[in-house]
Every structure is written in C-alpha cells, then in structure tokens.
Amino acid sequence: MSSVGIIANPASGRDIRRLVAHGSVFSNNEKVNIVRRVLLGLEAVGVERVICMPDTFRIGQRALEGLDLRLAYEELPHYVHDSGRDSQAAAAALRERGVGCIVTLGGDGTNRAVAKDCGDVPLLAVSTGTNNVFPVMIEGTVAGLAAGLVATGQVDQGEATYRTARLEIDLDGKAADVALVDAAVVSDTYVGARAIWEPARLRHLVLARAGLHYIGLSSIGGALYPGGLPPGQALYLELGPGGQTVTAPIAPGLIHEVAVRRHALLPFGERLCLDLAGCTVALDGERELEVIRPRRLGFVAAGRGPLIVDVPRTLALAARRGFFLNRIRPAP
C-alpha cells in the first residue's frame, strides 16, 4: 500500500525573532490549510494511506474536516513533548512504517530534527519557519502531487530526488549533532532563547550552503561566494575584526554588517578542529550545544544528508510520460 508521512511542526514560525526581528507569524490555522491541500494532492495521484505526526493543535485531524477522501488516514501513537524530539521520533516511526515520502511543514530546525532519523525516505520540505534555507516556499497542492508521485513509484525515486549535504559536529571526537545548513560558535555560554540575531556574538561559522538569497547565516557566505559554494565544498569563516566587512540579511528585516577575519573552503570529509570553552554551538540558526569547560569541537561536511524531492523535475517527468493527460477520475 502506497503511503506518505506528514510532519507538521506546530511551533515553527513562532520563535523570538517575531520580537527581535521582523519575522512573520505562521499560524497553525494556515498549516491546517496547507496540510488539507497536501492531502488533496496526494489523493489525486493515487496515494492510499497518509500517516501524520500527532500534535497538541491537531493539525492533521483539523485538515480532514470537510474533506471526503478515499485515502486512509492515521496518526502515529507517540507521546507529544512539544519539542524537536517529536519531529525526530515521528521521522523514525515513519521510516519504520515504510512510507514512500515524508512531507514536512517547518523551518530549518524542524527539518534538521527529521533528517536525523528519516534514513533514505525522501523529504519534501514545505517552508513554514523563520530562516528557511533548507525547506522551500511551495503551494501545498503541488507538494502533495510531487510527494505522491514519488511515493507511488509513478516517478522513480532515483530520478526524482537528490542527496543534500550535512555538517557533522563532534565533541572530543564523539558525535554530538548534525546540521543541514550552518553551524556557528557563539560567545554566549547558555542556550537561552536559541535563535541567533546578533552577529557580534558570532565567533566561528561553518556553512554547508551559501547564498545572499537566503535569510540567515548562510547569507554571510553568499556575499563572499556569489555563485554559491563549489561542489563538494563547505565554507569556514572566522568572524571578528581584522579582515573585511560583509553586509548580509541574517534575520527577517535585519541587515547587518558582519566582520570576517578570514575564510577558507572546507572539502567534504576534511575535519575542522577548534579548541574552545565558554561558548555555545548553534545549529541551523538555533543554539543547541553548551560548551562550558575546554573542549575540542570537530566539524565535518559530508554528502550524507537526506534525499530531497526535486518538485519541478518530478512533475515534469510525470507530465512527459503523459500522467496528467486524459485522466478519468474513478467513481467513489
């Protein structure tokens, strides 16, 4: 039975950057509307079952209201913690259930949690967060069509997806965490509100992606590499006076000058080591790791990130094969 998983994070698009920057609030009611359109797209291409992550707002159940769908709907039976653990646990459960694709609603942080445990299940990431470098702004109906074509095998996964990069972080040689976009060393000694919006606190930065068309820390690298990073390369930056100044949009509505002391490309597989203390490490724009006593931090960029559904390519392949021509909807 063809199936698709949906992970809609009720907390995405609602962090402190609504107060300290100019990020818009992405309401859970709008996420309900997006999931509703995703469901309709999935059914239109023949998906038979949808498995949704439960949450306190009941996004999936509300999306079903008023719909007359033939596909089966169920929710995962796991405890709701209202944290990133929910998305990570849901990804693992959906992988074990053998879904053909996972549709996520969230930002970079949500997808980082999902990517930790989704294995080789393709992701289609719909942007509903603040800093959205990894997910894309895409209409829910179109997302449902593309995810369904991959999940049902009507477009082969090998043709429809590509492997993205990730950053692997270790402490004293032991694996600590991963990031999909950026890892930053911040002078703060506490996690606090997690989000980063003050560039003066940044000390070191490792980027898996760089582009001035992104909002967030990856835009700093975009000013230095306007054409993007070379294939198989990440970027390391030491921040502080003594080099050059970069103007970059590091949060919605916040365009700052950032002092870059030096920078260098970091080939995939090469480990960058920093001996540090009294700082935190932010992953994909949010503080996650506290480093109080002296520790050796390691950063490795690798092409071991999740599989991503290429939506335009997927739909184009289906169209070339006549999928959208002369279709007759069967009677219910």
- The 10s digit of each residue's pLDDT in 46-93 is 999 999 999 989 999 999 999 999 999 999 987 666 666 899 999 999
User: With 60 as the cut, is the pLDDT of residue 14 above it?
Assistant: no
Q: For residue 60, which amino acid is it?
A: G
At 15 the pLDDT is 54
Token match 């309401």: residue? 27
Give every CB contact of residue 186 below 8 A, 6+ residues apart in sequence: 196, 201, 202, 203, 279, 280, 281, 282, 287
At 283 the pLDDT is 94
Give the fold, CATH level 3, of 3-164+306-320. Answer: Rossmann fold (3.40.50)
Number of alpha helices (DSSP H) and beta strands (DSSP E) in the chain: 9, 17
User: With 50 as the cut, is the pLDDT of residue 298 above it?
Assistant: yes
At 18 the pLDDT is 44
At 19 the pLDDT is 44
At 130 the pLDDT is 60
User: HSE on the CB side for 229, CA within 13 Å?
Assistant: 25
Task: Spell out the domain ranges in the chain.
Answer: 3-164+306-320, 166-302
Q: Regarding predicted confidence, which is higher, 15 or 254?
A: 254
Lowest mean pLDDT among 23-37, 221-235, 276-290: 23-37
Strand partners, 51: 5, 74
User: With 60 as the cut, is the pLDDT of residue 330 above it?
Assistant: no
Summarised one tens digit per residue, pLDDT across range 219-238 is: 999 999 999 999 999 999 99
At 59 the pLDDT is 95
State the average pLDDT over residues 169-179.
96
User: With 70 as the cut, is the pLDDT of residue 331 above it?
Assistant: no
Alpha helix locations (H) across the chain? Answer: 17-20, 28-44, 59-64, 84-97, 108-117, 140-151, 157-160, 218-224, 311-320
Architecture of domain 166-302: Sandwich (2.60)
**Nearest one of 313, 2, 324, 32 to 148, comparing CA atoms:** 2
- Cα four-point dihedral sign 113, 115, 119, 120: positive
Distance CA 84, CA 287 (A): 13
Average predicted confidence (pLDDT) for the chain? 90
Distance CA 132, CA 110 (A): 10
User: With 70 as the cut, is the pLDDT of residue 20 above it?
Assistant: no
